Structures are given as structure tokens and as C-alpha cells.
Amino acid sequence: MIRRNFVLGAAALAATAPSLVACSSSASQEEIARNLRRPGDVNAGDRAQLLRELVRYATLAPSSHNTQCWKFGLQGSLITIAADLSRRCPVVDPDDHHLFVSLGCATENLVHAVLANGLQASVNFDATGAGAVSVSLDTTKAIISPMFQAIAERQCTRGDYDGQTLSMDELRLLEKAGSGNGVRVVLLTERSAMEKVLEYVVSGNTAQLNDPAFVEELKAWIRFSHDEAVNAGDGLFSGATGNPAMPRWLGSRMMDLFLTPKSENERYAKQIRSSAGIAVFVSDVSDKAHWVEAGRCYERFALQATALGIRNAFLNQAVEVASIRPQFAAALGLGTRRPHLVVRFGRGPTLPWSMRRPVQSVLV
Ligand SMILES: Cc1cc2nc3c(=O)[nH]c(=O)nc-3n(C[C@H](O)[C@H](O)[C@H](O)COP(=O)(O)O)c2cc1C
């Protein structure tokens, strides 16, 4: 993310005063981010080590604002994934929808990693209390699937894409991957439908950027420099959007000066027009169980896309602003169904990688 358009100001500054934005530790941030995605050593027969390695794969999942809002419990043949409510984002996500979607994304990674290690996962969502996912494990034949192999390569790629269409076979695979239990993905590839989505992205983005509380919350999750990103291990690293890294005091000032609805909306228009299509994840029922399921469907979609060399990035503004969401659903002909996530996709280069916290800090 750093989905707001302070990119223009930052890029302009980088061009005129490169010494101000240069950061010596970029190589190490890149290296650390890559290392997080390399398989760990697991000694045969060391169950505890294997479970921690499975959790590492789960944590490579996307989460809203990269909050990594999950807590994993390891109990013999059971892994639980609960919400870390201290990582809520009350402004952008007042009903914790994105938080539970994020748990679903982590669950999906876990399912593929478990299978690659000769275990079969049975997933259950327990709605009591705050609600948590439990994954019980049984022995089975190991399958290293293309989706498993894509876990370490997946990223939310927020750059422009190449404007090329995808084949029908690719679209069919994405549609299959993105549909699940009570959740389905609607793929929009007609330019007129994509322009319609853009209208609502622009409305949502304008409303959000005119809300000081939204901007303040977003800023709190931005990691402006390499050091800040490495030290926190979470949040929205500037480099992951192709923005220059810079000290916090400067990044924060740039954001205040240059983050405007107009420039950001122009950026979204360019990004949507360079994409092959837009995926909207919807369900008839909207409760925590379906939010988790939407996360699982999205993550399968993203892993399938990655396996095909296709990138994707979220554009959730229209579903995040509660007053715009029903109008957006109606414009897409979804009736009263809840659109959960809006994602553009297409081919293009990767961007720098986001960070993750160490596995021990997400274990309970
Ligand atoms: C539920 C959910 C909502 C998200 N919404 C947005 C969004 O609106 N815009 C955006 O750029 N990224 C969005 N993201 C992507 C996260 O910011 C991203 O996953 C995180 O920064 C980690 O980066 P990575 O996915 O590349 O590893 C969302 C992710 C999730 C799971």
C-alpha cells in the first residue's frame, strides 16, 4: 500500500535532493525481506520446529496495512489462529472485517504448507468469543503444489501493469481458485466495467483522504525508511510501492504536503487502466466465518496468479467506506451481497518486499 499518492511528492523530492532520501541500509532490508521468505531448517522428527516453520509460511500471507493481526497457538496436532485485537485498525476497518479476512489469508497459506509437509489440514472457524480458526492436522502424502511454491513469491504489487489481457484459460484458473464455500469471485475484464469500478475507487479514496483520522491511522502504519521497516517488522514499507525510503520526519512531512485526493485518484486511474482486469470477492452472507472464507479465496487467487506470473494489488476504498459500499454493490449488480475485496490483476514487474515479524512474536 502506501496507497495514497504522496508518491508524487516523494519522487519529486528524490529527483531534486537524492542525498536527503538516500538510505544506507536498503541492501540489508532487501536481504532480510528475502531471507524471511526462504525455507527454514527443520530437523526430521522435530515436531515443534516443523510447527514453527508452518507458522512462518502462514505469516507470509497478506494482512490489511501489514498489521499481521494474528496470534498462533500450537497444541499437538492443532494450530489455532486468533485475532490480535491490539492490531486493529478502527478507522479503516471499524467492524474488523479486514482483520478476519487477513486470518483467512494466513489460514490458506498454512493449508498449502501443511500439505507440502505430509499433513492434511481440516479447517474450522469457531465463532464463539472473538472468533478463531482452528486447523487440525492428520498425516497424509506430501504434495508440493504450485500454490505452495508461490507462497514465498507472492506480493501485493502496486505498480503499473503491462495493459495486456489474460487468456481465457488463465481467467478460468483464477476464477476457480478465488471461489469457495459461500464466497465467489467476479472477474471484470471489460473496460467499461473497470471504469465503473474506478469511479467508486475514486469516491472511496476521496472520502478517506478527506478524513484526518484515516490519514493519521494510515501514517501510523507506514514505515518510511529501511531501518524503520526492519525494526518494526510490520507495516507498509515505502519501498513496497516503489516510493523512495526516507527518514520518518521527512516522509511524514511529504505526506502532509502531497497526499491529495486528486493526485492519488490519477494514480489509481493509471493503475486500473494498465490492468488486465479487476476481481471482486462477494458473498451472500456476511459474518466472520464468511470474512475468513473470503480471505482464503483471495489468497488462493493470489497464489494461483503468482504461479502464473500474474501480479495483483488491492483497491479496497469502495468497500471500506460503509456509505459507498452498497452503492458500489448495486452498480455491479450484486444486490444485497457484500463485496469484500477489490483487486486488480495483470502482468508487470515485482516491487521491493514487505517485512514480517519473527515467528516467536506471533506465537501464544
Ligand atoms: C484484508 C486486506 C485488505 C487490504 N487492503 C489493501 C488496500 O486497500 N490497498 C492496498 O494497497 N493494499 C491492501 N492490502 C495489502 C496489504 O497492505 C499487504 O498485504 C501488506 O502490506 C503486506 O504486503 P504483501 O502482501 O506484499 O506481503 C490489504 C490486505 C488485506 C489482507
Atom 13 of ligand 1: nearest residue by CA position: 314
Residue 1 Cβ < 6 Å to ligand 1: yes
Dig out the grid coordinates for 198 from the structure.
474506478
Structure confidence at residue 10 (pLDDT): 37
Structure confidence at residue 26 (pLDDT): 72
> Are the C-beta atoms of 299 and 147 separated by less than 8 Å?
no
Atom 19 of ligand 1: nearest residue by CA position: 62
Structure confidence at residue 17 (pLDDT): 36
Structure confidence at residue 257 (pLDDT): 92
Structure confidence at residue 241 (pLDDT): 82
Q: Among 160, 223, 316, which residue has the most ligand 1 atoms within 8 Å of its CB, making it the best to mutate?
A: 316
Residue 217 CB coordination number (10 Å): 17
354 vs 252: CA distance, rounded Å = 19
Residue 338 pLDDT level (bands cut at 50, 70, 90): very high
What is the number of residues in the chain?
364
Structure confidence at residue 25 (pLDDT): 67
Lowest mean pLDDT segment, chosen from 23-32, 218-227, 308-317: 23-32
Please work out, in degrees rounded to the nearest 5, the angle formed at the alpha carbon of residue 301 by the alpha carbons of 98 and 347. Answer: 110
Residue 238 Cβ < 6 Å to ligand 1: no
Q: Considering only CA atoms, which of 66, 100, 105, 69 is closest in space to residue 87?
A: 69
Atom of ligand 1 nearest to the CA of 105: 31
Q: How far is the CA of 146 from the centre of ligand 1 (A)?
A: 22
The position carrying cell 444486490 is 335
> Are the C-beta atoms of 236 and 66 separated by less than 8 Å?
yes
Atom of ligand 1 nearest to the CA of 60: 27
Residue 313 Cβ < 6 Å to ligand 1: yes
Structure confidence at residue 164 (pLDDT): 98
Lowest mean pLDDT segment, chosen from 7-16, 199-208, 276-285: 7-16
Atom of ligand 1 nearest to the CA of 157: 26
74 pLDDT above the threshold of 50: yes
C-alpha to C-alpha distances, 240 to 1, 60, 243, 245, 302, nearest whole angstrom:
7, 15, 7, 10, 17
DSSP-derived 3-state class of residue 169? helix
Residue range 131-176, pLDDT digits in tens:
999 999 999 999 999 999 999 999 999 999 999 999 999 999 999 9
60 pLDDT above the threshold of 90: yes
Residue range 272-331, pLDDT digits in tens:
999 999 999 999 999 999 999 999 999 999 999 999 999 999 999 999 999 999 999 999
275 φ/ψ angles, rounded to the nearest 5 degrees: -95, 160
Residue 156 Cβ < 6 Å to ligand 1: yes
Residue 62 Cβ < 6 Å to ligand 1: yes
DSSP-derived 3-state class of residue 332? coil
Q: How far is the CA of 250 from the centre of ligand 1 (A)?
A: 24
Which are the contacts of 63, defined by CB distance < 8 A and separation ≥ 6?
69, 70, 102, 105, 106
Over residues 178-198, mean pLDDT? 98
Atom 28 of ligand 1: nearest residue by CA position: 64
Angle between helices 261-273 and 191-209 in degrees, nearest 10: 160
